[in-house]
Structures are given as C-alpha cells and as structure tokens.
C-alpha cells in the first residue's frame, strides 16, 4: 500500500519583503474554530485525506496489532483499577473519588460527618453514557458551600468549549441553567446564589469574568471584568481566608491581579498591581495580609506580604534564593508551607507562625524525587497536611503529616497489581555540557541488567517551553519499555524551569534555539558515555515538545532511529503569523511576534520545523494529532507530514495518525489513554526490532 499524497496548490505571500511559498496552506480553513464545534464544516477533501492517512498507518502497523494488545494488557495490569482517592474533610462532609475495574471515568463520593451516610454525587461512567458522546471531557466539578448543589462543566468534542451545568444533589435533577462557551472553571459565591465563571471570546480565549445568578438565563449574567489587552487571558479564584475573589489577567510571562470583596455587595474591582513585562504575581489573603508570590526584583521568585489596608508597603516574607525557584504555598492558622525547586529537584519547607522556626519536611531517601503537598481538611486550625512522594523508580506514597508533632503515617500507596520491585532499576542524574558551557541535567531510568556499552536503545524525552518542567514522578507505563531493555532519559533542557527562571529565559524568544541545542547535546552526551549509540536514540515529545522534535530532526536526523511527535507544534511560523488563532497572541512573549517584528520573523523562520525540512534522510517518524485540538490545529502536523514525505530521501516509515474524535490530550477515558500509549510503544518496538 502506497502512502497518501496530499494535493499541492501553490500559495506565495510576502512577509517583511520575504517571499513564503506553501503548497499545503489550503488545508487550513478560515472558519477552523467553527469546525472545532461542528465537524460537518470540515473540508471533505481534507477529511478524506486524513482517513486515508489513518488507513495507511493501520496498514503499516497491522502486524503490531497483537503486540498492541499485549502492551495494553501489560500497562493496564500496572494500574490498580478499583482504587480509592484520599478524602478531603470539609465542614459537613468528607469528599473523595474512586475508580472501578470496569469503568473508564472517576466517581465522586461523600460521607456525612454527622450521620456517616455515604452517597455518590457524580459517576463519570453513567454521565458519559447519558451524554452519548465518544469524547467526554470533565472540566470542573465543585459542590456549593451549603453542600446542596453540584456544578460541573463538560466538553463533548475535545475542542475545550465547556458548558456548565447545575444539579441538586438530593434528587439528582439538573436545573435549567446551562452556561455555554466557557473555559470550564466554576466558583460558587459564598451565599451559593451565584456562579462565577470565565467566558471564551470568538477566538476561543477566556477574556471575560461573569456573574451568573442561579435560576436565571445566561443572557442576564453580569459582566464583572473584561480584558482588552489582546494577548491576555483571565482566570478567577477564591483566597484562603475567603475574603476575596482574585482575578488574574495575563499571559505566560506577565499578569496583573484584581481583588473583589467575596460578599459581592459591590462588583467593584480593586487593582492590586498592574502588569510589568516579565513580572508575574500570584495573590492570596490571610489574617489581614495579602501574600504575593512574585519574581519582581527576585529572578527565581520570593513571597511578600502586605496588610490589606497598606498593599503598597510589602515586606519580604520568604526571600529569594539563587538558582532555586520559590514555589507555591499553603497557609494554615499556625503554619506557612511552601515548595522550592533546585536543579530539577523539589523540597518542602514549613514555617511555624508562633515561634518563626523553619524546617524542611524531608523523610525521603531518593536524591531524585518528586514531592508535593495538599490540604487534608478545610479547618484552617489544622496541623495536618498530605505529603506525597515518588521518584522515577519509586511508586507514589502519601503520608498524613502532623506539622506540630512531625509524626506521619502512610495513608496511601500506589499499588502495581502485576508486581514491581524498585530494586531492579537504577536512576541517575548526569549532566551534558553545552557549547555555551551550561550543564543540562538528564534523568535516567534503566533496568539494572541493561548494558551501558553503547548497544542499548534509549528514549530521550523533551519539552522545553513555557517554563514547564519535566518532573521526577513515577510512571508505571514507561516500564513496558524499560523492561525490554530501553533506557528512558528525560532531558531537562532550557525553556523549562528546572534550574530557575534563567533556564526559561534562556530557552525562549530569541534564545529559543538553546532548547534544541541542549537536547542535541544531551543526546550526544548519552552516546559519548555509552548509554546508547548514534542512530539508536528514540526521540519523543508532544505539543511544544513536538516543535522540539521537528527542529532537532532537521538539524541532526542521524542521531535517531525513530521519533514520536504527539500533537506537534511544527508549523510554528504560520501559526505565529495568524493572530486569529486561540493561542498565538498569548505566546508573543514566548516565541515572538513574527508579523510585527522582522527580527522575530527571521528567527522563527530559521528553526520552524515545517519551513526547514530538507532533502535528506530522516529516521522512522510517527506523528499524531486530533481533529478537535484547538491548541495545535490538526492542519499543522497534516501539512508537515505531507511536505516531509515529498522531501525525505529514505524509505523509513513516516506515519500520520489522526484522532477523529479527540482533543489536545487525545481521546478520553482510561482505556483509550492506555490504547494510545500501547500504540506509540508498538511503533517504537517495531522500528528497533
């Protein structure tokens, strides 16, 4: 069976006096956002082509079907299917979630603290059947303060247009209220008479905050705030002391914060701080003070506090540390707890507000680890918190930790039903030195029997954008590859924030190429030190990590045996030039504005994967996308594969797989997620066999 051929229509346009010719630009529809809500509007020729690509992919991998079933069973066997989440103790109820052996979606339960009666308030399996949709995306699920109403938001296509619904918990009947075109987030007012939510504009951007009176039409909703700055999006949350609703408006690099009295008697916003470029604020309130997590005059963040009546007189509460990110925080009556990240590792600290002593919460053995904290109960007087811990080779354990006595007990262990012995594996942290003499951390997970003599295959995972860090948490699925002798390595490249804000700054805008060069240096370092060999690296990355894969493939294709690119941002220049797309304007401070600035245009053009495809040999490549993905439109990977197929000078496999009923994260449901992993792994095992 021959691969499909996408029709060519020459289209030439001039940007900054430079000509750009694209033979596949016709795939993009001007009404693409309408297609995301109504698939019947999709160009029939494009739909036919996508279906042909899917048939071709299935044909090439038909001998892998049996292996996919084996992998599916294997990966699923590592998951405790009937599992129970940890409870959160509210005022009158204890709330928790559970999953079942047969179900694909979670179930939410609660138990009365008074009567001890337990009831199911949400069953995702029943709801998915009720909605009769192959895609079932739950955005938010929250209970009113008086415990009587359940509010939830659903996306039934994958396009991230959420409708909000309200339901009485006692009789399980929905109210007439349906709020459309929302971002999915939901907040109840303290008196439970209103819903506060953010609404999407025509470009699929959350630009407005509305107040909806329960029991009325959406058309009567009151506008609380509307953002006029094109690149900014809005969100809203309630402070710890429940005194204020905070509205944050900004992009990846900066924001401004407003506060609104939570009693909502007057819908009058007060500005806490206006935005400054490259400065971010995250605001909370407790005991008469505003607490502000910010990088203003503190490269890797600090926490300030100021009295409510003197918000401009801030004092440093948690000071900055060199190359250490001061992370998010949690406030209790007697405790202030926060996280720190240094050199791709996390720590937790607690400050006793009575004696001012600060201690690290550290009872973990692994040097490479992931730690997190969360609240145990609503009662702010509590000394109890949840502390969770895992490492690349250690399944997650969660402790109920007493901050006062420092006593702890395990309340949940991640169980691997098929069995798991962490002593069979080795985790390492090594460093690759770049041309500009920066040391890039690499986390390695391998079986102790895997040889370090250059003969092993190695999967090198990377992302490197938006300041998003690759964590050190446990993932059972990847052991289906590790147990087959493949070394798994995470490249903590610049563009993330594993090593502080400078790590992000030096991997974005006109420094973006550092991201790609770092990844290549990591691959070369692993080859030099015999973890693998040239031509035996398997590249993997999704979304902006797909941009990474596409860029390094054009630069050093000979490093790889194969690459998996999930929902890849590969036509990045074309997307950056189109300011009508959902994410473009909000990413000007991440990638630049190619339409406005010639320097940005030339820089993005010099690395954009689609624009830099060469007439050279490429390794085996699997590209996946979803029809309803609003973040990276399906036309990007579609065009990329078509162009690459016409350019590459080899007979290696090049596949495009499109989920016709999925979003940016693929399909929904536990089994569907496992199937997608098994599919990717079967491709890897095919190309290395």
Answer yes or no: pTM beyond 0.85: yes
Vertex 267, ends 266 and 272: CA angle to 5°?
110
**For 146-201, how does the pLDDT look when each residue is reduced to its tens digit (9 = 90+)?**
999 999 999 999 999 999 999 999 999 999 999 999 999 999 999 999 999 999 99
* Residue 109, pLDDT above cutoff 90: yes
pLDDT band at 36 (very low <50, low <70, confident <90, very high): confident
Contacts with 90 (C-beta within 8 Å, 6 or more apart), sequence order: 143, 147, 377, 378
The predicted-structure confidence for 396-431, as pLDDT tens digits, reads as follows 999 999 999 999 999 999 999 999 999 999 999 999
| 360's tokens | 């690290």
pLDDT band at 644 (very low <50, low <70, confident <90, very high): very high
- Tell me the mean pLDDT in the region 642-652: 98
Residue 268 has which token pair? 């009058």
Q: 537-542 and 458-461 as β-strands: parallel, antiparallel, unpaired?
A: parallel
β-partners of residue 168 are 149
Residue written as tokens 């509460």?
Answer: 317
- Per-position DSSP letters for 136-182, written without gaps between them: -EEEEEEE-TTS-EEEEEEESSSS--EEEEEEETTT-PEEEEEEEEE
Measured CA to CA, the distance from residue 271 to residue 258 in angstroms comes to 4
Nearest to 584 by CA among 277, 205, 20: 205
Q: Is a pLDDT exceeding 90 seen at residue 90?
A: yes
Q: What percent of the chain has pLDDT over 70?
A: 100
pLDDT digits (tens, 9 = 90+) for 553-579: 999 999 999 999 999 999 999 999 999
586 confidence band (pLDDT: 50, 70, 90): very high
pLDDT for the residue 344: 86
| Gap between the Cα atoms of 493 and 504, Å rounded | 9
Percent with pLDDT over 90 in the chain? 97
Q: Are 532 and 454 in contact (CB under 8 A)?
A: yes
pLDDT at 21 over 90: yes
Cα separation of 254 and 275, whole Å?
A: 6
CA dihedral 545→487→563→56, nearest 10 degrees, is -120
Mean pLDDT of 198-217: 97
Residue 664 in contact with residue 631, Cβ under 8 Å?
yes
Q: Assess contact for 284 and 317: CB atoms under 8 A.
A: no
pLDDT band at 322; cut points 50, 70, 90: confident
Q: What would the two tokens of residue 170 be?
A: 């006692």
Picking from 450, 470, 472, the residue whose alpha carbon sits closest to that of residue 532 is 450
DSSP string for 69-88 = HHHHHHHHTTS-SSEEPPPE
In contact, 446 and 488? CB cutoff 8 Å: yes
Structure tokens at 578: 């189109």
pLDDT of residue 551: 98
Q: What is the pLDDT of residue 445?
A: 98
pLDDT tens profile 365-399? 888 999 999 999 999 999 999 999 999 999 999 99
What's the mean pLDDT in 524-551? 98
Q: How far apart are CA 630 and CA 388, in angstroms?
A: 33
Q: Find the mean pLDDT for residues 505-528.
A: 98
The predicted pLDDT at position 127 comes to 97
What tens digit of pLDDT does each residue of 234-291 get?
Answer: 999 999 999 999 999 999 999 999 999 999 998 999 999 999 999 999 999 999 999 9
Task: For residues 543 and 630, give the distance between their C-alpha atoms in angstroms, rounded to a whole number.
Answer: 12
């Amino acid at each position: 069976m021959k691969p499909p051929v996408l029709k060519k229509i020459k289209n030439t346009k001039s940007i900054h006096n430079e000509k750009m010719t694209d033979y596949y630009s016709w795939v993009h529809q001007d009404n693409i956002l309408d297609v995301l809500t109504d698939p019947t509007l999709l160009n029939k020729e494009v739909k036919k082509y996508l279906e042909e690509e899917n048939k071709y992919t299935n044909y090439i991998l038909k001998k892998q079907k049996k292996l996919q079933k084996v992998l599916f069973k294997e990966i699923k066997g590592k998951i405790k299917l009937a599992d129970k989440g940890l409870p959160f103790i509210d005022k009158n109820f204890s709330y928790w979630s559970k999953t079942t052996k047969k179900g694909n979606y979670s179930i939410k339960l609660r138990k009365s603290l008074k009567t001890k009666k337990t009831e199911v308030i949400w069953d995702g399996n029943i709801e998915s059947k009720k909605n009769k949709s192959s895609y079932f995306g739950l955005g938010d699920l929250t209970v009113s303060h008086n415990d009587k109403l359940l509010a939830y938001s659903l996306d039934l296509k994958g396009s991230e247009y959420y409708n909000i619904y309200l339901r009485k918990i006692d009789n399980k009947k929905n109210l007439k209220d349906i709020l459309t075109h929302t971002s999915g987030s939901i907040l109840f007012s303290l008196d439970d008479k209103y819903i506060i939510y953010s609404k999407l504009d025509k470009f699929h951007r959350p630009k407005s905050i509305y107040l909806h009176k329960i029991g009325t039409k959406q058309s009567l909703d009151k506008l609380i705030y509307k953002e006029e700055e094109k690149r900014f999006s809005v969100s809203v949350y309630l402070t710890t002391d429940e005194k204020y609703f905070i509205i944050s408006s900004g992009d990846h690099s900066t924001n401004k914060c407003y506060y609104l009295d939570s009693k909502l008697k007057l819908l009058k916003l007060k500005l806490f701080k206006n935005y400054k470029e490259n400065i971010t604020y995250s605001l909370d309130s407790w005991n008469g003070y505003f607490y502000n997590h910010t990088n203003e005059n503190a490269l890797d963040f600090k926490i300030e506090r100021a009295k409510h009546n003197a918000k401009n007189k801030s004092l440093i509460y948690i000071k900055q540390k060199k190359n250490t990110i001061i992370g998010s925080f949690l406030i209790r009556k007697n405790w202030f707890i926060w996280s720190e990240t240094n050199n791709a590792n996390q720590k937790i600290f607690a400050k006793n507000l009575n004696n001012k002593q600060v201690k690290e919460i550290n009872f973990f053995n692994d040097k490479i680890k992931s730690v997190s904290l969360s609240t145990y109960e609503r009662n702010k007087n509590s000394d109890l918190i949840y502390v969770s811990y895992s490492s690349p080779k250690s399944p997650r354990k969660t402790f109920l930790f007493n901050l006062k006595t420092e006593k702890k007990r395990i309340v949940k262990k991640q169980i691997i039903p098929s069995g798991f012995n962490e002593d069979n594996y080795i985790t390492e942290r090594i460093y690759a030195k770049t041309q500009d003499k920066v040391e890039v951390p690499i986390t390695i997970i391998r079986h102790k029997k895997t040889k370090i003599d250059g003969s092993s295959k190695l999967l090198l995972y990377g992302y490197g954008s938006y300041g998003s860090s690759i964590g050190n948490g446990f993932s059972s699925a990847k052991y289906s590859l590790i147990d087959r002798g493949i070394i798994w390595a995470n490249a903590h490249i610049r563009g993330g924030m594993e090593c502080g804000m400078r790590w992000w700054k030096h991997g974005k805008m006109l420094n973006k190429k550092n991201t790609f060069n770092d990844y290549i240096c990591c691959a070369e370092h692993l080859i030099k030190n015999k973890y693998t060999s040239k031509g035996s690296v398997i590249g993997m990355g999704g979304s902006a990590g797909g941009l990474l894969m596409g860029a390094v493939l054009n630069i050093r294709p000979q490093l790889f045996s194969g690459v998996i690119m999930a929902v890849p941002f590969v036509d990045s220049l074309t997307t950056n030039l189109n300011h009508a797309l959902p994410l473009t304007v909000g990413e000007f401070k991440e990638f630049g504005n190619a339409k406005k600035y010639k320097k940005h245009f030339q820089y993005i053009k010099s690395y954009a994967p689609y624009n830099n495809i060469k007439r050279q040999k490429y390794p085996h490549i699997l590209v996946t996308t979803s029809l309803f993905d609003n973040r990276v439109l399906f036309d990007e990977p579609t065009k990329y594969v078509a162009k690459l197929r016409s350019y590459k000078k080899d007979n290696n496999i090049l596949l495009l797989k499109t989920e016709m009923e999925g979003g940016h994260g693929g399909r929904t449901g536990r089994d569907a997620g496992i199937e997608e992993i098994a599919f990717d792994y079967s491709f890897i095992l095919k190309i290395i066999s």
